[in-house]
């Protein structure tokens, strides 16, 4: 009986000391940068098909990619998952950030936090107009990091539309300053059309309703003239 108990203890000890069966070893030679992934998905270099569920939500790649980046934010409410920013020092037209859909992020990946380095294998999805990654199985490697993610200042370039500037920063951690030239059109509050709290910004000038008192005051001199 004693021998059996000792063998059982030894087996349990070895099992606990062994790497998890779900451990993922990041293949460094297969990593695709986030800007490159975005460009390839946009120009059709990555094959895709209509997403089955939910129907009409967009397209999903039929192949997978290995992506590496730093966690800049974790979503657990409207968006469930993490936001990654590519840590490679490259200049790119496409955004260096992307959202990774992880519906059980808080429960399954409690070690994930802003600053963590993540390498994963995923399918690429065009989800209702936004690009995101969907993890393949448990193919994710998480490493702690003491580096704090820093925001990028959002600025609209010369000859660039606000829509293009926002797409260039999609999924990234951004900060606004005077050079961003964004004005508050609607202050923070509950948005009944979207069923959530938010605020609305506009580029260069606030968007005024024709019936707003401030708008009527602006056009009054013209009407009198």
Write out pLDDT tens, residues 110-156.
989 999 999 999 999 999 989 999 999 999 999 998 888 999 999 99
Measured CA to CA in angstroms, residue 37 lies from 34, 95, 105, 136, 197 at distances of 5, 10, 23, 16, 32
User: Degrees (nearest 5) of the Cα angle 201, 205, 208?
Assistant: 80
Mean pLDDT of the chain: 83
pLDDT higher than 70, residue 212: no
Residue 100 β-bridge partners: 82, 133
Q: Is 115 helix (H, G, I), strand (E, B) or coil?
A: coil
User: Which of 13-22, 154-163, 182-191 has the lowest average pLDDT?
Assistant: 13-22
Compute the distance between CA of residue 57 and CA of residue 76 in angstroms, rounded to an integer: 20
**Burial annotation 3-25 (CB, 10 A radius, 16+ → b, else e):** eeeeeeeeeeeeeeeeeeeeebe
CA 183 to chain centre: 24
Q: What is the predicted pLDDT for the residue at 211? A: 61
Q: How many CB atoms lie within 10 A of CB 97?
A: 24
Q: 83: exposed, middle or buried (C-beta count within 10 Å: 0-12, 13-18, 19+)?
A: buried
Residue 14 has pLDDT above 90, yes or no: no
Residue 172's closest CA among 192, 142, 199, 152?
152
Which domains, ranges and CATH numbers included, belong to the chain? Answer: 31-169 (2.40.50.140), 176-203 (no CATH)
Mean of pLDDT values over 155-168: 90
Amino acid 4: pLDDT = 45
The reported pTM is: 0.78
Return left, alpha or beta for 49; rule: phi > 0 is left, psi -120 to 50 is alpha, else beta: beta
pLDDT band at 215, cuts 50/70/90? Answer: low
Closest CA to 136 of 120, 118, 117: 120
């Amino acid at each position: 009986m004693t021998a059996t108990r000792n063998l059982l203890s030894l087996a349990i000890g070895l099992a606990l000391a062994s790497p998890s069966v779900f451990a993922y070893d990041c293949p460094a030679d297969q990593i695709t940068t986030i800007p490159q992934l975005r460009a390839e998905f946009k120009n059709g270099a990555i094959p895709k098909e209509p997403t089955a569920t939910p129907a009409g939500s967009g397209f999903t790649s039929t192949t997978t990619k290995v992506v590496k980046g730093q966690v800049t934010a974790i979503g657990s409410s409207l968006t469930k998952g993490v936001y990654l920013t590519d840590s490679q020092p490259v200049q790119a037209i496409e955004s260096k950030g992307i959202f990774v859909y992880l519906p059980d992020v808080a429960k399954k990946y409690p070690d994930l936090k802003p600053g963590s380095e993540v390498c994963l294998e995923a399918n690429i999805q065009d989800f209702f107009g936004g690009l995101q990654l969907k993890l393949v199985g448990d193919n994710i490697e998480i490493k702690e990091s003491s580096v704090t993610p820093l925001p990028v200042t959002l600025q609209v370039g010369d000859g660039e539309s606000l829509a293009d500037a926002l797409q260039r920063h999609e999924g990234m951690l951004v900060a606004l300053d005077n050079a961003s030239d964004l004005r508050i059109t609607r202050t923070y509050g509950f948005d009944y059309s979207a069923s959530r709290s938010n605020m609305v910004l506009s580029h260069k000038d606030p968007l005024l309703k024709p019936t707003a008192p401030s708008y009527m005051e602006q056009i009054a001199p013209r009407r009198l003239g």
